């Protein structure tokens, strides 16, 4: 693409506002900035779009949103009149321009003859997945950038099962977008006109209640919270986002009496004024919640990200310090609790199954199997987890009771097909209350699992490579590791090399090649002689390569030494 020509096209367009035009005019003498904004469109993948908000083809703005929606609308229309009637559910989180982008998407769908159900205001991502299934919609659109910094926004697309779009439909949209001019190829129906015409219906409290009914039905041990409600306390923060209403409501309905919501972060604000990053994976964001917990003698802290699909916890240790529990650790303890509680209450189904991604701790497999449950791996992303759940349950092979990934995402129940921090917050609280009654914290419960199953350790390293040069550097590193895989890492032999792109498995000692079940993703895996796995993959939403260390030690000291040792090797990849 000729970026200067594309830049000029935008400058010459008569649809831009004076302010938008001025923003582009301001960069006319900066060829590098022009190139970064116009060298190509944001890539439309199975996760939709995500980027920083600015004018330009490679950023999130009204024109990019309308263009993407026109492509999606064409794909929906190709399914026939019934699909148009079933329509699209649309949601948004707390991000700047969220409602503006959501309404713009609704207007394009309405102009294409597609019925729209749009939320009256911001809602958790899992509620959008629920709404698609609950109302029998053909598709869904969610304007969100999840836990990214404030400069970002995004556009996620869902299909009729409530999961993010399958690859064939994402490819179909990408092909449509190549044919559609971003300015002249998009049709839009004014919002108020579309409402009057019955093309747009607004969703509100009635959908919340239907969703909450399903969430509350996920309680396993109905006495766990009421039994300690007079003394058990917790702190909750939504990090200025969508969990602000439904998470506290679910906890109160479960019987929580002492719920302390961090007041500054309960304020909805897409600028995220109290944190550098509104991500529960970053412990520094919890500082206000920790202060509130200390002042009120609280053991347990919950935090959900801006679109309330991820949840993180902090737990007070015996020294009175608040410790972050990673997504891997939290998921393992929750899996163990849920299977145990289901067993105790007679709710454990036949052929129970746990699902996790390939980069999630192997400790989950050990826990699942200790209860007679199977554990399957999928690629990273809940669309793959949803696909596996649908396949297993559709064939009668097993009943999925728990699904998670290491980056703080949990999918529970049958009413959503995406990460769900609302339901996860409820069950994590039930679990914390259960252990509180035993004089234990969730941290104590995790330690007990280490004593039982082994000392597993995990660490994710992010090799950030921004800009155009970064894209080339990422491709170069993946090519180098694929074509010349290391024979040893940190002095330990690589015994097996797996390439998830073609599904190949190479025995490094003999050179023998075989294949594995999973293929079709740009991911490399190195299995080491000491049982450690090192996995390398480019992020699908951010300019970085993620390197995952999954290891195990005879004790905590050996585990930590392994994590450190292999982390030093990862550092060499940056050079």
- pLDDT of 109-130, one tens digit each? 999 999 999 999 999 999 999 9
- Taking a C-beta distance cutoff of 8 angstroms, is the pair 475, 501 a contact? no
pLDDT for res 569: 96
Q: For residue 470, name the pLDDT band (cuts at 50, 70, 90).
A: confident
pLDDT for res 84: 98
pLDDT for res 322: 97
Please tell me whether the overall predicted TM-score, pTM, comes out greater than 0.85 for this model.
yes
Helices within 89-241 (DSSP H only): 98-111, 125-134, 167-179, 191-196, 205-216
Whole-angstrom Cα distance, residue 331 to residue 313?
11
Q: For residue 365, name the pLDDT band (cuts at 50, 70, 90).
A: very high
Whole-angstrom Cα distance, residue 269 to residue 63?
24
pLDDT tops 90 at residue 241: yes
Homologous superfamily (CATH) of 455-572 is Alpha-D-phosphohexomutase, C-terminal domain (3.30.310.50)
pLDDT for res 12: 95
Burial 447-478 (b: 16+ CB within 10 A, else e): bebbeebbbbbbbbbebebeeeeeeebbeebb
Intrachain domains 41-203 and 213-453 with the same fold: yes
pLDDT tops 80 at residue 575: no
Which residue among the candidates 146, 188, 308, 425 is catalytic per the annotation? 146
213-453, which class in CATH?
alpha beta
Instruction: Pick the more confident residue, 167 or 528.
Output: 528
pLDDT for res 44: 84
308 is catalytic: no
pLDDT tops 90 at residue 332: yes
> Which CATH number applies to 41-203: 3.40.1260.10, 3.40.1830.10, 3.40.120.10, 1.20.1050.10?
3.40.120.10
- Phi and psi at 372, nearest 5°, equal 80, 15
Domain boundaries, the chain: 41-203, 213-453, 455-572
Q: For residue 543, name the pLDDT band (cuts at 50, 70, 90).
A: confident
**Residue 267 CB contacts under 8 Å (≥ 6 apart), including other chains:** 240
- Phi and psi at 427, nearest 5°, equal -75, -35
């Amino acid at each position: 693409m000729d970026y200067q020509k594309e830049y000029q096209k935008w400058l010459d367009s008569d649809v831009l506002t004076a302010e938008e035009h001025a923003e582009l005019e301001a960069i006319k003498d900066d060829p590098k900035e022009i190139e970064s904004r116009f060298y190509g469109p944001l890539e439309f993948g199975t996760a939709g779009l995500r980027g920083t908000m600015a004018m330009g083809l490679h950023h999130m703005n009204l024109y990019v949103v309308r263009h993407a929606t026109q492509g999606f609308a064409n794909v929906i229309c190709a399914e026939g009149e019934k699909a148009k009637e079933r329509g699209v559910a649309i949601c948004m989180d707390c991000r700047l321009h969220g409602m503006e982008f959501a309404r713009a998407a609704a207007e394009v769908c309405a102009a294409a003859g597609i019925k729209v159900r749009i939320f009256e205001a911001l809602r958790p991502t899992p509620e959008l997945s629920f709404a698609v299934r609950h109302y029998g919609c053909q598709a869904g659109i969610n304007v969100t950038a999840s836990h990214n910094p404030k400069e970002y926004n995004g556009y996620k697309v869902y299909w009729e099962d409530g999961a993010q779009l399958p690859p064939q439909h994402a490819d179909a949209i990408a092909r449509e977008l190549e044919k559609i001019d971003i300015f002249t190829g998009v049709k839009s129906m004014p919002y108020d006109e579309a409402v009057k015409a019955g093309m747009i219906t607004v969703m509100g409290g009635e959908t919340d209640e239907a969703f909450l009914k399903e969430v509350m039905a996920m309680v396993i041990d109905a006495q766990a919270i009421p039994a300690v409600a007079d003394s058990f306390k917790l702190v909750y923060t939504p990090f200025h986002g969508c969990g602000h209403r439904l998470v506290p409501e679910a906890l109160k309905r479960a019987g929580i009496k002492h719920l302390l919501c961090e007041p500054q972060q309960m304020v909805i604000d897409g600028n995220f004024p109290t944190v550098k990053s509104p991500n529960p994976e970053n412990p520094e964001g919890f500082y206000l919640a920790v202060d509130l917990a200390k002042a009120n003698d609280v053991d347990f802290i919950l935090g959900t990200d801006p679109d309330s699909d991820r949840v993180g916890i902090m737990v007070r240790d015996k020294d009175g310090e608040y410790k972050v529990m990673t997504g891997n650790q939290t998921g393992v303890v929750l899996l163990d609790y849920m299977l145990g509680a289901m067993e105790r209450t007679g709710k454990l189904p036949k052929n129970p199954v746990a699902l996790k991604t390939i980069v999630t701790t192997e400790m989950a497999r050990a826990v699942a199997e200790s209860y007679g449950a199977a554990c399957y791996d999928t690629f990273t992303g809940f669309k793959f987890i949803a696909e596996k759940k649908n396949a297993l349950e559709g064939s009668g092979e097993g009943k999925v009771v728990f699904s998670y990934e290491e980056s703080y995402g949990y999918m529970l129940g049958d009413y959503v097909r995406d990460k769900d921090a609302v339901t996860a917050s409820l069950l994590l609280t039930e679990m914390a209350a259960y252990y509180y009654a035993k004089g234990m914290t969730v941290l104590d419960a995790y330690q007990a699992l280490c004593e039982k199953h082994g000392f597993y350790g995990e660490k994710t390293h992010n090799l950030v490579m921004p800009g155009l040069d970064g894209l080339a550097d990422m491709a170069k590193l993946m090519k180098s590791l694929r074509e010349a895989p290391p024979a040893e890492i940190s002095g330990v032999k690589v015994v097996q090399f797996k390439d998830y792109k073609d599904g190949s498995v190479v025995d490094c000692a003999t050179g023998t090649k075989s294949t594995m079940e999973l293929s079709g993703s740009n991911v490399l895996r190195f299995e080491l002689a000491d049982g450690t796995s090192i996995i390398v993959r480019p992020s699908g939403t951010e300019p970085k390569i993620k390197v995952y260390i999954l290891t195990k030690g005879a004790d905590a000291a050996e585990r930590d030494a392994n994590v450190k040792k292999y982390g030093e090797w990862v550092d060499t990849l940056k050079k």
